[in-house]
Amino acid sequence: LWQRCLTRLEDELPSQQYNMWIRPLQVAASADGAELTLFAPNRFVVDWVRDKYLERIGEVLGEMQTGALPHLRLEVGSSRTVPVAPAPAPQAANSSTAAPGGPLLTPELPESRTVAPQGEVGGARKHRSNLNTGFTFATFVEGKSNRMAAAAAQQVAENPASHGYNPLLLYGGVGLGKTHLMHAVGNELIRRNPNAKVVYLHSERFVADMISALRNKTINEFKRFYRSVDALLIDDIQFFAGKEQSQEEFFHTFNALLENGQQIILTCDKFPKEVDGLEERLKSRFGWGLSQPMEPPELETRVAILKKKAEEAKVDLPNDAAFFIAQRIRSNVRELEGALRRVIAHVRFTGAQIDIGLIKEALKDLIALQARQISIDNIQRVVAEYYKIKINDLLSPRRTRSVARPRQVAMALSKELTSHSLPEIGENFGGRDHTTVLHACRKVLELRESNPEIEEDYQNLLRTLTS
């Protein structure tokens, strides 16, 4: 009966769901057949299955059974009489080591690496940490915008798990140094105590590892591992939003660590209370320690960061050049690094000295974008003018070629030159659907490739808009 029920559910459910939640269930019928017990490997699966699938399971069983429906029970455990076989190793560590050479030369941050539980075999005392060794206090430039956060991080590195500093939560927009500072604490903890077990991971990694631990029935090892650390660094906790079982598991880990005086450091892209889909109890817990905002750096800090990064890359960056870049690239440190990287590439390629002219050349498009805040309005105006139609034609429902094509071009330009989402762009073009915008972008790309005239129009418009 259960086998037939499984086959049926396998047909009905997306295979990922089936494999994750239904396949691990084991079944045992009572001797009189009046009761059917489903065993799940752990509480999370029990809760999840009860919520999402139990009713359907009952219905399917009902349809396949002629007599009285057995009473369905769901609990943690195993129907096997023999102990559960040794679990397969949880997901292997994808442990490429941090690229040396400093963050400037590292295109992607190692945010998603983790030490996998089985890295700890045999109680070895030497811990291979997965921290980026380039992210230290020494390489972190302090300024008004991050001074408080840096001070708090220093404090935690010197006195981990002290009252009032646990958890340490750093929050703020992208590219402002949250991950850097978090690693700096970890690196300092290890420098002071080489045996300290410091584990860094991105919250998405935590979620993925937890799910595979559930699937592989290694959730207990998973728990034990995360509870055995001296410091747990979890990056970008906003990704926990909406993932209830992960939040549940994290909540327990969190409590266990706090009770045992182990340090927790978290980052988030906004103040956690403002993250939708995060449980209230987690939000309030996150606030138990110290929360520090990180702001975009002001001009002087941007200059100092550029000078420091140039020095690390052994490139001479004159002050006026640093100011020139810092005045134009204002959003965050990651963009600043990107700009400097381009300038350096340009220097290496041309063999020239860094001066304003070279920077202008190397950062042409970036500077144009920043200098002139390109808005959808602006694009519509320029496009309408170029094709000699009215702006209203771009917003109207009319579908004649003479207005439909310019409209598509304007949408594609909006996608390319502004940071508006597809729905926002659609909204600005007379309330069109985001799929219409997507279609326009694809169409324009296709036309530009097949039709040199359209490519020329597009380039002309790009130039007008960004010069």
Is residue 247 a contact residue for Mg ion (CB under 5 A)?
A: no
Q: Which two tokens stand for residue 332?
A: 């965050």
**What is the closest distance, in whole angstroms, from the C-beta atom of residue 181 to Mg ion in the complex?**
10
Q: Which of 176, 379 has the CB closer to Mg ion? A: 176
- Which position among 113, 178, 243, 415 is part of the footprint of ligand ADP (CB under 6 A)? 178
291 binds, among Mg ion, ligand ADP, none (CB under 5 to 8 A by kind): none
Cα 296 from Cα 147, distance rounded (Å): 12
Q: Which of 265, 412 has the CB closer to ligand ADP? A: 265
**What is the closest distance, in whole angstroms, from the C-beta atom of residue 191 to Mg ion in the complex?**
22
Burial call 319-346: b when 16+ CB within 10 Å, e when fewer: eebbbbbbebbeebbebbbbbbbbbbeb
Sign, Cα dihedral of 312, 313, 319, 325: negative
Residue with tokens 């327990």: 252
Q: Which of 160, 175 has the CB closer to ligand ADP? A: 175
Q: Which of 363, 409 has the CB closer to ligand ADP? A: 363
**What is the closest distance, in whole angstroms, from the C-beta atom of residue 299 to Mg ion in the complex?**
23
Q: Which of 234, 305 has the CB closer to ligand ADP? A: 305
| DSSP summary character for residue 296 | P
**What is the closest distance, in whole angstroms, from the C-beta atom of residue 266 to Mg ion in the complex?**
11
- Could you tell me if 425 and 437 are in contact, meaning their C-beta atoms sit under 8 angstroms apart? yes
Sign, Cα dihedral of 78, 79, 83, 85: negative
Cα 138 from Cα 145, distance rounded (Å): 17
Is residue 406 a contact residue for ligand ADP (CB under 6 A)?
A: no
240 binds, among Mg ion, ligand ADP, none (CB under 5 to 8 A by kind): none
**x/- site string to ligand ADP, residues 324 to 353, per CB under 6 A?**
---------xx--x----------------
User: Which of the residues 94 through 123 are near ligand ADP (CB under 6 A)?
Assistant: 103, 109
Size of the site for ligand ADP (CB under 6 A): 18
**x/- site string to ligand ADP, residues 55 to 94, per CB under 6 A?**
----------------------------------------
- Could you tell me if 394 and 403 are in contact, meaning their C-beta atoms sit under 8 angstroms apart? yes
Give the interface segment with ligand ADP, choosing from 32-40, 171-179, 184-192, 371-379 (CB under 6 A): 171-179
Secondary element (H or E) of residue 116: none
User: Which of the residues 139 through 178 are near Mg ion (CB under 5 A)?
Assistant: 178
Nearest to 284, CA basis, from 247, 236, 319: 247
- Which position among 132, 166, 179, 418 is part of the footprint of Mg ion (CB under 5 A)? 179
**What is the closest distance, in whole angstroms, from the C-beta atom of residue 298 to ligand ADP in the complex?**
12
- Cβ-in-10-Å burial (0-12, 13-18, 19+) of 32 comes to exposed
Q: Which of 148, 454 has the CB closer to ligand ADP? A: 148
Q: What is the DSSP string of 248-282?
A: HHHHHHHHHHHHTT-EEEEEESS-GGG-TTS-HHH
425 binds, among ligand ADP, Mg ion, none (CB under 5 to 8 A by kind): none
For the chain, what's the residue count? 467
Q: What is the CA radius of gyration of the chain?
A: 28
- How would you list the strands of the sheet with 290-293, edge to edge? 198-202, 231-235, 263-268, 168-171, 290-293
User: Which of the residues 349 through 388 are near ligand ADP (CB under 6 A)?
Assistant: none
Q: What is the DSSP string of 348-385?
A: HHH-PPP-HHHHHHHTHHHHHHHHS---HHHHHHHHHH
Cα 37 from Cα 75, distance rounded (Å): 7
Is residue 317 a contact residue for ligand ADP (CB under 6 A)?
A: no
- Could you tell me if 337 and 141 are in contact, meaning their C-beta atoms sit under 8 angstroms apart? no
Q: Which of 177, 426 has the CB closer to ligand ADP? A: 177
**What is the closest distance, in whole angstroms, from the C-beta atom of residue 362 to Mg ion in the complex?**
26
60 binds, among ligand ADP, Mg ion, none (CB under 5 to 8 A by kind): none
**x/- site string to Mg ion, residues 418 to 447, per CB under 5 A?**
------------------------------
305 binds, among ligand ADP, Mg ion, none (CB under 5 to 8 A by kind): ligand ADP
- Which position among 180, 217, 328, 415 is part of the footprint of ligand ADP (CB under 6 A)? 180
Residue with tokens 């941090």: 98
Give the interface segment with ligand ADP, choosing from 173-181, 237-245, 253-261, 343-351 (CB under 6 A): 173-181
Distances (CA, A) of 308 to 107, 144, 235, 329, 394: 18, 17, 25, 16, 48
- Cβ-in-10-Å burial (0-12, 13-18, 19+) of 44 comes to buried
Q: Which of 129, 179 has the CB closer to Mg ion? A: 179
Q: Which residues bind Mg ion (CB under 5 A)?
A: 178-179
What is the binding site for ligand ADP (CB under 6 A)? 103, 109, 135, 139-141, 146, 174-180, 305, 333-334, 337
